[in-house]
Amino acid sequence: MSRGSLRHGNSRGRERKFVLESGPSVNRSDAVESFRKAVAKTPESAYPDVPYAPRPLSVDPRNYYVQDGPDDFKATYERRVGGTTWHWLGTALRLLPNDFRTKSTYGVGADWPISYAELEPWYGQAEAALGVAGDDKANLGGAPRSSRYPMPPIPPTYLDSQVRSAVASLGYLVVPTPQARNSEVYEDRPPCCGNASCIPVCPIAAKYDATVHAALAASFGAKIVEQAIATFVETDANGAVVAIHYKRPDGSAHQASGKLFVIAAHAIETPKLLLMSRTASRPEGVANSSDRVGRYLADHPTQLSWALTKQPVYPYRGPLSTSGIENLRDGPFRSRRSAYRIEIGNDGWSWPFGWPTDSSKVLIDRGFRGTELQQALRDQMARELRVASLTEQLPDSNNRIVPAWDQLDAIGIPQPRINYRVDRYAQDGLASARAVHDKIFDAIGVTFRAHSGVFQSAGHIIGTYRMGTDPKHSVVDADLRAHDHPNLFLLGSGVFPTTGTANPTLTIAALALRAAATMRKQLAG
């Protein structure tokens, strides 16, 4: 959670830029060791939970979320310096032009207050800032470019080539996935060497994480205050934000005051903070005159499928995913059911079943021992294939997060109370994806196949403080400035009016850079 141009406490004199971060910093080598020792290799296993900044665990999202259903919201996040970019996959896709206008084009969802053309130059800047490796000629669904990727693509794997050859006649185009992962030395960080632990931690920092820009901010004089959990946004009678109140792990109370404020605490913690900041004059909370804060919560519900191929495809090499099928992301069908992109996994069956050590347990239970066990495990691992389709959800105002005033965390702050449902539009997209997965398996040749019976989470938390032109139906304007408060900006995927099918990180970065230009003008004026 960050703020710009703040004075801390009762300090006087030269203004400073403060970043209030709810969690602690991460030591990369400690994270690698924690992951190595963890029995369950989950996205969170490298980062032990902390009681003063808890977060949901993928093994049980009810550990922090108060789930009111009908479906459980399964996406998780990290509250520490660098946030969830510590364990993101690194996929850096752009949204498509039609993703910004689904209402006017297909009669569903909502139109954004900006177009792809307006955001396109900022996408290029975001790719440079994160360090994205990609193929300039790849067909990623129809998103035109005005700039080249900073680096050539991460090389496709042998598995990618086998899937590409098998499905070419079906019209499915397997292309390299743009990713914020170095394919060569970039910004003094090394190229990827294929450790295959991108989730939950890149041990050599070849994959981008937000500590890169945290360090850059500190080098320009920003003060990063760790373990500072925001609890209240204070406003004056004119609607300007004047201070952020926060607690430390020992329960002590502090505040930061200033001219301009930015809240970038993700699409769960940001609306929770705004709704917690209610007063007699603002009983609905901060930035919430529209009653839209906390609403339209979404993910990319995911269809997960896995199979054993007849011939070896040799997964577990390189980053966890290096290619995908992107030409199913748009079309007239979007008026009836969701689009999706297909991620081709290099991680074998680790998503549905865990790491290869878990497969060995299954084989042991089947009676394999000694060299026979080793051979059986080698044979299975060489033929494991996994694909996942990330679908889009339509915005639903009943999908929401509010503070759970009756269930508090370790330092007395309400936990998130969530009501969530996957709509028929996305469910029909999941059904379509299963059929396409079967076609892929038939084309490549498999001896076994399976599909997840319930939707999986892509780990993408979207919506809850949407952008728009009408203050009655949105929370921020096209520049991400709160309609209700001229000196408050809200960043992150919470501003997305719709989800599209692209992983959200690159769009978050592009919108943030665009908003930063507006902030500079506002401060200069």
Give the residue numbers annotated as catalytic, written as ranges.
460
Dihedral (C-alpha) 366, 369, 374, 375: value to the nearest 10 degrees?
-70
Which residues are within 8 A (CB) of 151 and not within 5 positions of it... i.e. 6 or more apart? 131, 132, 133, 134, 182, 183, 184, 186
Q: How far is it, in rounded angstroms, from Cα 37 to Cα 45?
A: 9
Which helix (H) or strand (E) covers residue 405, if one does?
strand 400-408
Q: How far is it, in rounded angstroms, from Cα 4 to Cα 229?
A: 16
DSSP 130: H
Q: How far is it, in rounded angstroms, from Cα 479 to Cα 494?
A: 14
Q: How many CA atoms lie within 13 A of 463 on its CB side?
A: 28
The CA distances from residue 289 to 275, 416, 426, in Å, are: 11, 21, 30
Which residues are within 8 A (CB) of 161 and not within 5 positions of it... i.e. 6 or more apart? none
Q: How many CA atoms lie within 13 A of 321 on its CB side?
A: 28
Indicate the pairing of strand 414-419 with strand 66-67: parallel
Asked whether the beta carbons of 458 and 75 are under 8 A apart, the reply is yes
Q: Is 301 exposed, middle or buried (0-12, 13-18, 19+ CB in 10 A)?
A: buried
Give me the residues paired with residue 175 across strands: 324
Query: How is 322-368 classified by DSSP, letter by letter?
Result: -EEE-TTS-SGGGGTS--EEEEEESSTTHHHH-SHHHHHHHHHHTT-
Identify whether 156 is preceded by a cis peptide bond (ω within 30 of 0).
no
DSSP 61: G
Which helix (H) or strand (E) covers residue 266, if one does?
helix 266-276
Give me the residues paired with residue 386 across strands: 306, 345
Nearest of 283, 307, 350 to residue 446 by alpha carbon: 307
Asked whether the beta carbons of 248 and 254 are under 8 A apart, the reply is yes
Q: Which amino acid is present at 347?
A: D
Residue with tokens 């900044």: 53
Q: Which amino acid is present at 275?
A: L
Residue 70 sits at φ, ψ, to 5 deg, of -75, -20
